[in-house]
């Protein structure tokens, strides 16, 4: 049955290339024999056909079997914001690489300086860009700065860092120590000391049945601060919209209260924009929807849309100045380096990525297409009893599935994965958020590229509509 909103052909008329079924059996054999894949149970992988992606153009991908896919999750993990096959980014990177590929970031580079200037122009109140390679690393650097500030200013005491249940900040030991998703942390302890959890802010699964839910959820942060002692808490690290932890859009009043609490107790505010950053929510950064004034902003995935590995830690001048004090003390500066922070391909790609977003009006497109996606998802909620709630901001949306609406019992993981697989069978790639948290493994996740058209959006939600009908 065709969903009434469906008016798209999966195969875009603009795509001229057709991918012939070359024989990739040697590649598949090498992959199966030697590659250890991320987030993969290899016992299961052994018995499935590997999915090796070969080519991409715009929103579409072709795999080693020649199959075409419409990508609803921008490279699987919400990264390829400007879409595949951008020759101008490839050209910018190539031109830079043949000129100068690398010099340690203790010195400067042309694209490093130019991208920093352009980025800061989108972030009023912020002033400094620290180049690294991954979201985890950017967050680690911010944690290190917080610890160093505690030593500089507070005799080491104000060193604790708060994080939120269901937020994710990376895969290293310290970032999982700041990670609110149980299944990603279990078995990797002992953790870095001094990280403390505050409650999540998902009203749909609230523990507080109150009118002013957003403020109440933020007050829970203040309770932790008071319990620990405000003079021991240096910073709080939060995602503007919790991404992998279930697509949790913040409730009304939440962020204003968080900002007040940070000011009241002199706590540095670290916003993790690794997912929301660089346009995904319809503004340059997710925090810009809420009038927040952060001290640290970290970003990675969308900075160069995956055309080069680049991540940034951005600070304000207040933070930066602390590390300039006492130039005679060799320990006063930020004594830190990241070798590949000096790769010039990253900022060269990022600069062109930013130009594309601007010149093609992709922020406005994200807002318009995000509204369409939410409308489509709400229509699915009306049609399918298994949908508990649709949530999202811009082109980052989730659909929480429940077996029973009244009790909000989460839909079983196997069925959620069956929906993802059914969409894949139809040629549409969607995701499901982090699994194995009891009760919280049940949210379908959508993050199409910011270039998505109305037809693309409708094709994605049509596939989900069909899949929900097939599975439930
Ligand atoms: N922060 C958030 C919000 C993320 O979603 C991720 C990755 O998914 C990270 C940090 C870690 O980024 P990376 O995988 O580049 O280390």
> What's the 467 CA to ligand 1 centre distance in angstroms?
28
Ligand 1 close to Cβ of residue 134 (< 6 A): yes
Q: Ligand 1 centre and the CA of 139: distance in Å?
A: 9
Rg over CA atoms, the chain: 22
Beta bridge partners of 161: 195, 235
Q: What number is the average pLDDT over the span 55-61?
A: 95
- Residue 437 is predicted with a pLDDT of 53
pLDDT tens for 188-246 read 999 999 999 999 999 999 889 899 999 999 999 999 999 999 999 999 999 999 999 99
Q: Tell me if 300 CB under 6 Å of ligand 1.
A: yes
- Between CA 159 and CA 152 the distance in angstroms is 11
pLDDT value for 438:
53
Q: Is 168 in the pocket of ligand 1 (CB under 6 A)?
A: yes
Least confident of 4-8, 20-24, 50-54, 417-421: 4-8
Q: Tell me what pLDDT residue 24 has.
A: 84
Following DSSP, what letter does each residue of 120-145 receive, concatenated? HTTSTT--EEEEESSHHHHHHHHHHH
Of 431 and 20, the one with more pLDDT: 431
Mean pLDDT of 270-281: 98
Q: Is 392 in the pocket of ligand 1 (CB under 6 A)?
A: no
Tens of pLDDT, residue by residue over 154-171, are 999 999 999 999 999 999
Average pLDDT over residues 15-24: 53
Average confidence (pLDDT) over 292-308: 98
What average pLDDT does the chain have? 92
Question: What is the rounded average pLDDT of the residues 435-461?
Answer: 86
pLDDT bracket for residue 365 (50, 70, 90) = very high
Question: Who wins on pLDDT, 183 or 250?
Answer: 250
Which pLDDT value is given to residue 14? 41
426 pLDDT above the threshold of 70: yes
> Which of 79, 168, 175 to mutate for ligand 1's pocket (most ligand atoms within 8 Å of CB)?
168
Q: Which of 59-63, 184-188, 253-257 has the highest mean pLDDT?
A: 253-257
* Residue 393 pLDDT level (bands cut at 50, 70, 90): very high
pLDDT score of 55 more than 50:
yes
Decide if pLDDT at 23 tops 50.
Answer: yes
Q: What is residue 79's predicted lDDT score, i.e. its pLDDT?
A: 98
Cα–Cα distance measured from residue 352 to residue 441, given in angstroms and rounded to the nearest whole number: 37
Give residue 293's pLDDT: 98
| Ligand 1 mean position, distance from CA 276 (Å) | 11
Residue 433 CB contacts under 8 Å (≥ 6 apart), including other chains? 243, 244, 245, 246, 247, 398, 440, 441, 443, 444, 445
Per-residue pLDDT tens over the stretch 332-356: 999 999 999 999 999 999 999 999 9
Mean pLDDT of 457-463: 98
| Burial class for 327, CB neighbours closer than 10 Å (0-12, 13-18, 19+) | exposed
pLDDT in tens, 38-48: 988 899 888 88
CA-angle at 432, arms to 426 and 433, nearest 5°:
165
pLDDT confidence of residue 19: 44
pLDDT at 45: 85
Once rounded to an integer, what is the mean pLDDT over residues 372-401? 97
Q: Is the pLDDT confidence value at 22 over 80?
A: no
> Does residue 4 have a pLDDT over 50?
no
Mutate to test the pocket of ligand 1, among 275, 297, 313 (most ligand atoms within 8 A of CB): 275
Indicate the range of 48-62, 139-153, 340-354 predicted with least confidence. 48-62
pTM of the model: 0.95
For helices 454-471 and 362-383, angle between their N-to-C axes, nearest 10 degrees: 30
Instruction: State residue 65's pLDDT score.
Output: 82
């Amino acid at each position: 049955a065709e969903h009434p909103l469906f008016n798209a052909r999966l195969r875009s008329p603009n795509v001229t290339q057709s991918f012939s079924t070359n024989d990739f059996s040697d590649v598949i054999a090498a992959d199966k024999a030697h590659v250890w894949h991320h987030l993969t149970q290899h016992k299961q992988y052994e018995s499935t056909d590997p999915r090796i992606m070969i080519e991409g153009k715009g929103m579409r991908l072709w795999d080693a079997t020649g199959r075409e896919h419409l990508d609803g999750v921008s490279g699987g993990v919400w990264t390829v914001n400007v879409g595949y096959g951008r020759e101008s980014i490839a050209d910018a990177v190539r031109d830079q690489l043949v000129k100068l590929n690398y010099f340690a970031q203790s010195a400067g580079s042309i694209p490093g300086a130019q991208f920093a200037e352009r980025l800061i122009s989108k972030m009023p109140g912020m002033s400094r860009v620290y180049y690294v390679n991954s979201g985890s690393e950017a967050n680690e650097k911010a944690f290190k700065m917080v610890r160093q500030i505690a030593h500089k200013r507070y005799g080491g005491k104000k060193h604790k860092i708060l994080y939120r249940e269901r937020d994710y900040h990376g895969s290293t030991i310290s970032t999982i120590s700041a990670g609110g998703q149980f299944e990603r942390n279990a078995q990797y302890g002992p953790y870095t000391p001094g990280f403390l959890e505050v409650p999540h802010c998902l009203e749909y699964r609230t523990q507080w049945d109150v009118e002013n839910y957003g403020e109440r959820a933020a007050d829970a942060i203040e309770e932790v601060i008071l319990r620990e002692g405000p003079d021991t808490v240096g910073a709080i690290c939060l995602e503007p919209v919790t991404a992998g932890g279930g697509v949790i859009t913040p409730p009304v009043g939440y962020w204003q209260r968080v900002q007040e609490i940070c000011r009241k107790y002199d706590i540095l505010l670290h916003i993790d924009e690794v997912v929301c950053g660089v346009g995904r929510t319809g503004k340059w950064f997710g925090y810009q929807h809420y009038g927040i004034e952060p001290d640290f902003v970290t970003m990675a995935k969308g900075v160069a849309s995956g055309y080069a590995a680049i991540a940034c830690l951005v600070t304000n001048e207040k933070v930066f100045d602390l590390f300039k004090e006492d130039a005679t003390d060799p320990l006063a500066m930020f004594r830190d380096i990241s070798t590949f922070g000096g790769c010039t391909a990253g900022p060269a790609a990022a600069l062109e990525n930013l130009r594309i977003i601007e010149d093609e009006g992709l922020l406005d497109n994200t807002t318009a297409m995000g509204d369409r996606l939410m409308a489509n998802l709400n229509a699915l909620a009306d049609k399918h009893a298994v949908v508990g709630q649709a949530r999202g901001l811009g082109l980052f949306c989730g659909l929480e599935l429940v077996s029973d609406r009244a009790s909000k019992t989460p839909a079983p993981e196997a069925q959620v994965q069956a929906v993802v697989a059914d969409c894949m069978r139809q040629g549409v790639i969607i995701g499901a958020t982090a699994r194995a948290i009891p009760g919280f493994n049940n949210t379908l996740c959508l993050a199409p590229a910011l270039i998505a058209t109305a037809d693309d959006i409708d094709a994605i939600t049509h596939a989900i509509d069909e899949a929900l009908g097939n599975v439930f």
